[in-house]
C-alpha cells in the first residue's frame, strides 16, 4: 500500500483547538468575555471550516482506488524510546481511511449543527460568570479531542483523544456547577470512565508486551499492528492463579472492550450516562448521543482485525451489547424525564452497535453509528427545544398537547421517533436491519438468541419512543396554566438545525440500502457505505441469505416497530387511564423498572460505600494522616530537630579550626574509600 | 635527576606539616603561613608531575597552573592579612579562639 502524504489532515483537529485556546486565553488571562458575535464567529466558524476541510479530505480519499484509500499526515515523532525489539515509537500522525473519514464527517457535520443550535439554546442562559463563552470553549475543545480520537494514527494518540473527550464530558456535564448535583454527575461520569480507561491502558500495554515477546519491533500505529499481527496471533497468556491459558488476543480484546464499555456506556459501566443528562441539552446531543459515546464502537471497528480473530472477546462484545440493548430499553419504558428516556435509549442503541460489531458486522455497526448520530442528535435537540418552550420543564407528565403550540418542533421530533423506531424508508430502519442480519448470520454462540433479543428490543424501542411522543405532544396539556399560556417556538437558531438533522434522519439511510432493495430499484451498487468501508474490515463469512429471507427479516423488524407503535397508541392515546392501572397491578415489576433495577443503589452499597468507608477509615486516617503525614513527614522533621537539639548543634563551635579539622577528616575518609 | 617519588614525597610531607599547622596553631598569622605551605606543597606536586609528562609530550600545563596558584595565593594573603589587621584593631589579639562568637 502506498502511503499518501497530505498536509491537510492536521488542520481538521487544529482549528477547533485554536478556537478553544483563544477562548481560554480570553477567559483566563483577560478576565473579560468577548462580544457575543466574536464567540459565535470563532467557535462555529472553526467547526464549520473543519467540516469543510473534512469534506475536501473525503473527496480526496474517494478519488483514490478502493484498495489503497489511505491518507496520512505525519507531524513529528511524539514518543520515541528504547532500541531494537523493545522500541516504542509513536508519531503525532493523523490517518484518514474510510473508517475515520466517516467518523470525521459525522463529528464535524453533526457537531457544526449542534454548535449553531447552541447559539440559540445557551442564549437563554443568562449567567454572571461568562457562561456563554466558557460553554463554547469547552465545546470546541471537545470537538478537537474527538477528532484526535478518530484521526489518531496510533493507540497512544487515540488514548489522548479518548481522555480528552472524557475531560470535556466532565466539564460540560457539570457546566452549571453552582448546582451541586450537576457537579456530582460530572464526577460520576469521569470516575466511571476512568475505570474503563484503565482497561484500555492495560490493553495497550499487553499488546506492546506481546510484540516485544514475539520479537517483532512494533510501533503502536494501527497499520503496523495489523501488519505484524500474525506474530502474536498464537501467543497465550497464563492466568495468574487458576485455569487454562488464555489466548492473548482474547485478553487484549477484552481489555479494550472494558474501555469501550466505560466510554460507550455498556453493562456494567453504563450508569454514568443517564446522570450525564444534567448537562445542557446540546451537550447531551453532541457528546452523549452522537459522538463521544460512539468512540467505543469506533475503537472496536478500528481493531476489527483483532476482534475478528478473538472469538471469545467477540462473543462477549456481542452478548454485552445485546443485553445492554434490552436492559436499557426496558428501563426507558417507565422514565418520565424526557432526557432520561433518550439517555436510556442511547445506551440501548449503543448496545445494538456492539451487538453488530461482536457479530462481525462492522459495517452494520458503523452504519448504525452514523444514522444514530443523526436521529439521536435530532431527538435530543428536539427535546431541548421542548424544554426551552416549556421554560425548563423536563417531566413529560407535565407536558402533552404541545403539537398545536410548537408545530415545527413536533414535526421534526416525530421524524426522529419514526427513524429510531425503524420504519422504512427512514434511516434507522436500514441500519437496524443490517444489524439484525449480522446477528442472524453470525458465528457467535447463541446467535439466534441475539437476533431474538434484537427484535424484542426493536419493539420496545418503538414503544417507548412513541410513548414519549404521545405524552409530550398529544393528548391533554398537563402543564400548569401559567406555563401553558407561554409555550412558544424557540428562536430560529434552535429550529433551523433541527430541520437539517430531520432531513438527514430521513434520507441518511440511503447511504447503506442493502443490495436487495437496490436490485429492485435498479441501482448498480446501492450498498455504498458497505462498499466504502469493507476493504478495511476482515472479510467475514459472506452471509448467504436468499432475498426472500432478507425481505422476511425486514418485514419482521417493521412488524415489531408497528407492534410497539400500536401498544403505545392503545395505552397512551386510546385508553390513557390504563397505564396507571397497569402500573398499580404490576406493582413490583413497575417499581423495579422505575428504579432502574436498583443498579445505582446496588453499586452504591457494594462498591461506592465500602470504598468510601475504606478510604476514610483506612487510607485517610491510618495511611495518609497516620503513616505518611504523621510518621514520614512530621516524624522526619521532629526526629531531625531532636537530634540537632541534643547533639548536632555542638558541632557548630564557632572555632574555624574545628571546621577545618572536620573537613580534613571527611576528605581523608572519602579519599580512603576511593583509594581502597 | 631527582626521581618523581622524592618530589611527591616531599610535597606530601610539606602538605601534612601545613595541615597540622592550620589545625593546631592558634596564631592567625601562623595559620596563614601554614596555608602557604600547603599551597606550595601542591605547586611542588604540579611541577613534579609536569616534568614527568613533559618527557612524554612536552606540555607545560603544570607550570602554568603553578603560576596561577601563586597569583591566587598572593591575593589570598592580601585579603587574609587585611582581616588580621582589622581583627587586631578590634580585639587586641590575633588568637583565633578569641573570635568564636558565631556559634550555637
Tell me, letter by letter, the H, E, C secondary structure of A115-126.
HHHHHHHHHCCC
Q: Which of A649, A650, A654 sits opposite B100 (nearest CB)?
A: A654
Burial of residue A49 (CB within 10 Å: 0-12, 13-18, 19+) is middle
Q: Before A194, cis peptide (omega within 30)? A: no
pLDDT computed for residue A143 by the predictor: 95
Residue A498 C-alpha cell reads as 433541527
Question: What would the 3-class secondary structure string for A170-219 be?
Answer: HHHHCCCCCCHHHHHHHHHHHHHHHHHHHHHHHHHHHHHHHHHHHCCCCC
Which helix (H) or strand (E) covers residue B61, if one does?
A: helix B61-91
User: What is the C-alpha to C-alpha distance for residues A8 and A14, in angstroms, rounded to an integer?
Assistant: 10
Which helix (H) or strand (E) covers residue A79, if one does?
A: strand A71-81
Q: Are A312 and A433 in contact (CB under 8 A)?
A: no
> Could you write out the DSSP letters of every residue in A423-440?
-TTSHHHHHHHHHHHHHH
pLDDT in tens, A52-68: 999 999 998 888 887 77
Residue A156 C-alpha cell reads as 497512544
- C-alpha distances in angstroms, A61 versus A66, A70, A99, A224, A380? 9, 7, 11, 21, 32
SS3 A89: strand
Q: Are A426 and A410 in contact (CB under 8 A)?
A: no
Q: How far is B43 from chain A (nearest CA, A)?
A: 19
DSSP 8-state secondary structure symbol assigned to residue A268: T
A contact test, residue of B22, B35, B103 with most A CBs within 10 A: B103
Burial B7-31 (b: 16+ CB within 10 A, else e): beeebeebbeebbebbeebeebeeb
Domain B4-92 has CATH 1.10.287.3510: yes
The C-alpha angle A584, A587, A589, rounded to 5 degrees, equals: 130
Interface contact flag, A660 B23, Cβ < 8 Å: yes
DSSP 8-state secondary structure symbol assigned to residue A576: T
Q: How far is A655 from chain B (nearest CA, A)?
A: 5
pLDDT in tens, A286-342: 999 889 999 999 999 999 989 988 888 999 999 999 999 999 999 999 888 999 999
- The domain ranges of chain A are 373-587, 598-674
Interface contact flag, A650 B19, Cβ < 8 Å: no
Range in A279-293, A480-494, B35-49 with the lowest mean pLDDT: A480-494
Residue A617 C-alpha cell reads as 477509615
Region A72-93: mean pLDDT is 82
pLDDT in tens, A374-389: 999 999 999 999 988 8
Q: Are A398 and A475 in contact (CB under 8 A)?
A: no
Residue A459 C-alpha cell reads as 419493539
Nearest CA to A210 out of A252, A153, A155, A258 is that of A252
**Angle in degrees, 0-180, between the axes of helices A547-569 and A447-473, rounded to the nearest 10:** 40
Is the pLDDT at A235 greater than 60, yes or no?
yes
Nearest CA to A377 out of A508, A501, A495 is that of A501
Kindly provide the residue ranges of all beta strands, DSSP E only, lying in chain B, ordered along the sequence: none
Q: How far is A670 from chain B (nearest CA, A)?
A: 17
User: What is the C-alpha to C-alpha distance for residues A238 and A223, in angstroms, rounded to an integer?
Assistant: 28
pTM strictly above 0.95: no
pLDDT higher for A46 or A574?
A46
pLDDT computed for residue A518 by the predictor: 67
Interface contact flag, B104 A655, Cβ < 8 Å: no
DSSP 8-state secondary structure symbol assigned to residue A651: G
Region A217-243: mean pLDDT is 79
A12 Cα distance to chain centroid: 20
Is the pLDDT at A480 greater than 50, yes or no?
yes
Residue A396 C-alpha cell reads as 413529560
Nearest CA in chain B to A648: B104
> How many residues make up chain A in this entry?
676
Place of cell 459472506: A542
Is the pLDDT at A129 greater than 80, yes or no?
no
The C-alpha angle A455, A460, A465, rounded to 5 degrees, equals: 125
The mean pLDDT value of chain A amounts to 87
Q: Are A372 and A298 in contact (CB under 8 A)?
A: no
Residue A473 C-alpha cell reads as 405532544
User: What is the C-alpha to C-alpha distance for residues B32 and A221, in angstroms, rounded to an integer?
Assistant: 70
pLDDT computed for residue A124 by the predictor: 62
The band of A530, judged by pLDDT with boundaries at 50, 70 and 90, is confident
pLDDT computed for residue A1 by the predictor: 45
pLDDT computed for residue A240 by the predictor: 67
Contact residues of A toward B, CB < 8 A: 649-650, 652-657, 660-661, 664
Place of cell 470504598: A611
User: C-alpha dihedral over A603, A609, A612, A614, to 10 degrees?
Assistant: -110
Amino acid at each position: 500500500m502506498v502511503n499518501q502524504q497530505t498536509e491537510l489532515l492536521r488542520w481538521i483537529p487544529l482549528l477547533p483547538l485554536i478556537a478553544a485556546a483563544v477562548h481560554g486565553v480570553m477567559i483566563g488571562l483577560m478576565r473579560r468575555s468577548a462580544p457575543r458575535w466574536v464567540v459565535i464567529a470563532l467557535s462555529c466558524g472553526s467547526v464549520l471550516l473543519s467540516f469543510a476541510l473534512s469534506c475536501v479530505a473525503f473527496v480526496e480519499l474517494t478519488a483514490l482506488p478502493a484498495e489503497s484509500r489511505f491518507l496520512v499526515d505525519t507531524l513529528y515523532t511524539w514518543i520515541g524510546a528504547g532500541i531494537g525489539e523493545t522500541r516504542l515509537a509513536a508519531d503525532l500522525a493523523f490517518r484518514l481511511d474510510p473508517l475515520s473519514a466517516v467518523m470525521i464527517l459525522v463529528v464535524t457535520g453533526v457537531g457544526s449543527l449542534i454548535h449553531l443550535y447552541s447559539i440559540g439554546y445557551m442564549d437563554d442562559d443568562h449567567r454572571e460568570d461568562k457562561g456563554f463563552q466558557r460553554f463554547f470553549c469547552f465545546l470546541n475543545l471537545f470537538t478537537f479531542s474527538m477528532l484526535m480520537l478518530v484521526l489518531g494514527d496510533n493507540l497512544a494518540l487515540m488514548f489522548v483523544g479518548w481522555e480528552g473527550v472524557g475531560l470535556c464530558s466532565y466539564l460540560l456535564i457539570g457546566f452549571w456547577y453552582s448546582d451541586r448535583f450537576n457537579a456530582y454527575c460530572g464526577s460520576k461520569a469521569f470516575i466511571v470512565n476512568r475505570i474503563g480507561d484503565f482497561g484500555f491502558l492495560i490493553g495497550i500495554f499487553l499488546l506492546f508486551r506481546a510484540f516485544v515477546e514475539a520479537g517483532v519491533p512494533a510501533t503502536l500505529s494501527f497499520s503496523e499492528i495489523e501488519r505484524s499481527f500474525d506474530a502474536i496471533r498464537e501467543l497465550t497468556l497464563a492466568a495468574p492463579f487458576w485455569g487454562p491459558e488464555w489466548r492473548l488476543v482474547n485478553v487484549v480484546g477484552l481489555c479494550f472492550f472494558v474501555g469501550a464499555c466505560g466510554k460507550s456506556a455498556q453493562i456494567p459501566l453504563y450508569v454514568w450516562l443517564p446522570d450525564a443528562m444534567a448537562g445542557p441539552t446540546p451537550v447531551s446531543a453532541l457528546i452523549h448521543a452522537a459522538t463521544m459515546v460512539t468512540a467505543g464502537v469506533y475503537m472496536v471497528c478500528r481493531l476489527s482485525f483483532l476482534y475478528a480473530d478473538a472469538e471469545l472477546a467477540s462473543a462477549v462484545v456481542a452478548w454485552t451489547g445485546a443485553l445492554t440493548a434490552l436492559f436499557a430499553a426496558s428501563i426507558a419504558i417507565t422514565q418520565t424525564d424526557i432526557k432520561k428516556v433518550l439517555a436510556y435509549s442511547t445506551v440501548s442503541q449503543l448496545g445494538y452497535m456492539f451487538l453488530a460489531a461482536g457479530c462481525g458486522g462492522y459495517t452494520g455497526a458503523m452504519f448504525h453509528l452514523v444514522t444514530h448520530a443523526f436521529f439521536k442528535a435530532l431527538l435530543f435537540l428536539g427535546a431541548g427545544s421542548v424544554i426551552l418552550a416549556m421554560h425548563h420543564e423536563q417531566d413529560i407528565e407535565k407536558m402533552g398537547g404541545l403539537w398545536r403550540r410548537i408545530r415545527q418542533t413536533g414535526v421534526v421530533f416525530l421524524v426522529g421517533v419514526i427513524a429510531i423506531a425503524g420504519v422504512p424508508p427512514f434511516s434507522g430502519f436500514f441500519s437496524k436491519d443490517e444489524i439484525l442480519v449480522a446477528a442472524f448470520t453470525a458465528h457467535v454462540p447463541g446467535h439466534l438468541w441475539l437476533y431474538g433479543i434484537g427484535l424484542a428490543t426493536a419493539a420496545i424501542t418503538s414503544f417507548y419512543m412513541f410513548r414519549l411522543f404521545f405524552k409530550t405532544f398529544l393528548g391533554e396539556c398537563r402543564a400548569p396554566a401559567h406555563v401553558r399560556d407561554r409555550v412558544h417556538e424557540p428562536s430560529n437558531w434552535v429550529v433551523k438545525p433541527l430541520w437539517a438533522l430531520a432531513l438527514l434522519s430521513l434520507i441518511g439511510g440511503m447511504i447503506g440500502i442493502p443490495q436487495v432493495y437496490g436490485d429492485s430499484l435498479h441501482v448498480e451498487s446501492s450498498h455504498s457505505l458497505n462498499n466504502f468501508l469493507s476493504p478495511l474490515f476482515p472479510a467475514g463469512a459472506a452471509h448467504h441469505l436468499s432475498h426472500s429471507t432478507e425481505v422476511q427479516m425486514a418485514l419482521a423488524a417493521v412488524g415489531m416497530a408497528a407492534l410497539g407503535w400500536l401498544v403505545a397508541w392503545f395505552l397512551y392515546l386510546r385508553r390513557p387511564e390504563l397505564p396507571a392501572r397497569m402500573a398499580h397491578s404490576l406493582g413490583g415489576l413497575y417499581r423495579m423498572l422505575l428504579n432502574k433495577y436498583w443498579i445505582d443503589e446496588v453499586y452504591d452499597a457494594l462498591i461506592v460505600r465500602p470504598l468510601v468507608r475504606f478510604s476514610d477509615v483506612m487510607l485517610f486516617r491510618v495511611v495518609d494522616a497516620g503513616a505518611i503525614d504523621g510518621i514520614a513527614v512530621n516524624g522526619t522533621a521532629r526526629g531531625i530537630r531532636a537530634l540537632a537539639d541534643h547533639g548536632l548543634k555542638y558541632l557548630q563551635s564557632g572555632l574555624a579550626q574545628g571546621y577545618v579539622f572536620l573537613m580534613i577528616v571527611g576528605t581523608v575518609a572519602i579519599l580512603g574509600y576511593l583509594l581502597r | 635527576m631527582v626521581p618523581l617519588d622524592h618530589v611527591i614525597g616531599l610535597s606530601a610531607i610539606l602538605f601534612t606539616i601545613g595541615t597540622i599547622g592550620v589545625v593546631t596553631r592558634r596564631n592567625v598569622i601562623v595559620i596563614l603561613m601554614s596555608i602557604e605551605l600547603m599551597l606550595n606543597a601542591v605547586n611542588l606536586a604540579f611541577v613534579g608531575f609536569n616534568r614527568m609528562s613533559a618527557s612524554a609530550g612536552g606540555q607545560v600545563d603544570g607550570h602554568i597552573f603553578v603560576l596561577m596558584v601563586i597569583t591566587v595565593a598572593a591575593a589570598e594573603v592580601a585579603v587574609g592579612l587585611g582581616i588580621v589587621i582589622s581583627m587586631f584593631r578590634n580585639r587586641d589579639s590575633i588568637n583565633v579562639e578569641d573570635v568564636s562568637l558565631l556559634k550555637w
